[in-house]
Amino acid sequence: MVCLCACKAGTQAPTPLTTVNAPTQTPTPLTTINAPQGGKIVYGPVNGATTQGAAMAKMLSTVHNNSGEKPQIGRVFQFTGTNLVGVFFTVTDHPDGNLPLAGMVIAAATGPNQVEAAMVYDLASRFGQTVNPMLQQLSGVWHPGASSPAAGTAPASAGNGGGSVPASQGGSNIPLHPVSAPDNSASVGIPDGWTLDPNSGHGAIVVHGPNGEQIGLELMKGAIDPTHPFRARSDAHGQLEGPPGAVVIYPYRGDPAKEFEGILQAWRTSNSKGPVKLQGLKTQIVTNIPNPNTNQCVTADGQVDLQDGTGMQKLGALLCIYNDQTTFKQWGNYVITFYQLNYEPMAVAQKDSALISAITNTYKQNSQVMQQQGQQMMAQKQQSDQQIMAQSQAAVDRIHQIGAQATARMNATEAANSTEQSSWEAGQNANARNAQGFSNYLLDQSVVQNNYTGAHATTWNSAAEGLVKADPNKYSYVNTPNYIPGTDY
Q: What is the pLDDT of residues 372-381, one digit of tens each?
A: 866 776 666 5
pLDDT higher than 60, residue 177: yes
| Residue 156 sits in the same domain as residue 181 | no
Q: What is the pairing mode between strands 247-249 and 214-224?
A: parallel
* Distance (Å, whole) CA 56 – CA 85: 9
Q: What is the pLDDT of residue 237?
A: 39
Question: Structural domain tally of the chain?
Answer: 3
| Of 331, 338, 337, nearest in space to 224 by CA | 331
Q: What is the pLDDT of residue 118?
A: 93
314, 340, 362: which is the final residue of a domain? 362
Residue 303 lies in a domain: yes
Residue 393 lies in a domain: no
Quickly state the pLDDT bin for 36 (edges 50, 70, 90): confident
345, 362, 379: which is the final residue of a domain? 362
Residue 153 lies in a domain: yes
| Residue 150 sits in the same domain as residue 243 | no
| Residue 136 sits in the same domain as residue 227 | no
Of 111 and 292, the one with more pLDDT: 111
* Distance (Å, whole) CA 90 – CA 193: 30
pLDDT higher than 80, residue 139: yes
* Backbone φ and ψ of 165, nearest 5°: -120, 120
Domain that holds residue 84: 31-161
* Distance (Å, whole) CA 316 – CA 321: 17
Is residue 76 within 8 A of residue 463, CB to CB? The reply is: no
Is residue 50 within 8 A of residue 64, CB to CB? The reply is: no
* Distance (Å, whole) CA 380 – CA 374: 10
Q: What is the pLDDT of residue 8?
A: 30
Residue 94 lies in a domain: yes
What average pLDDT is seen over the chain? Answer: 76
| Residue 135 sits in the same domain as residue 262 | no
SS3 call for 76: coil
* Distance (Å, whole) CA 277 – CA 129: 41
Q: What is the pLDDT of residue 149?
A: 37
* Distance (Å, whole) CA 120 – CA 130: 9
Containing H/E element for 285?
A: strand 277-285
* Distance (Å, whole) CA 403 – CA 233: 23
Q: What is the pLDDT of residue 262?
A: 95
Is residue 188 within 8 A of residue 362, CB to CB? The reply is: yes
Residue 378 lies in a domain: no
| Residue 149 sits in the same domain as residue 182 | no
Distances (CA, A) of 234 to 375, 395, 408: 30, 21, 12
| Residue 323 sits in the same domain as residue 465 | no
Residue 3 lies in a domain: no
Averaged pLDDT, 248-256: 86
Residue 391 lies in a domain: no
| Residue 335 sits in the same domain as residue 206 | yes
Neighbours of 13 (CB within 10 A): 12
| Residue 39 sits in the same domain as residue 135 | yes
First to last CA, the chain: 29
CATH code, 44: 3.40.1000
pLDDT higher than 90, residue 394: no
Is residue 123 within 8 A of residue 100, CB to CB? The reply is: yes
Angle subtended by helix axes 404-442 and 52-67, to nearest 10 = 80
| Of 304, 396, 389, nearest in space to 343 by CA | 304
Residue 12 lies in a domain: no
* Distance (Å, whole) CA 79 – CA 145: 15
Which of 16-25, 341-350, 382-391 is predicted with the least confidence, judged by mean pLDDT?
Answer: 16-25
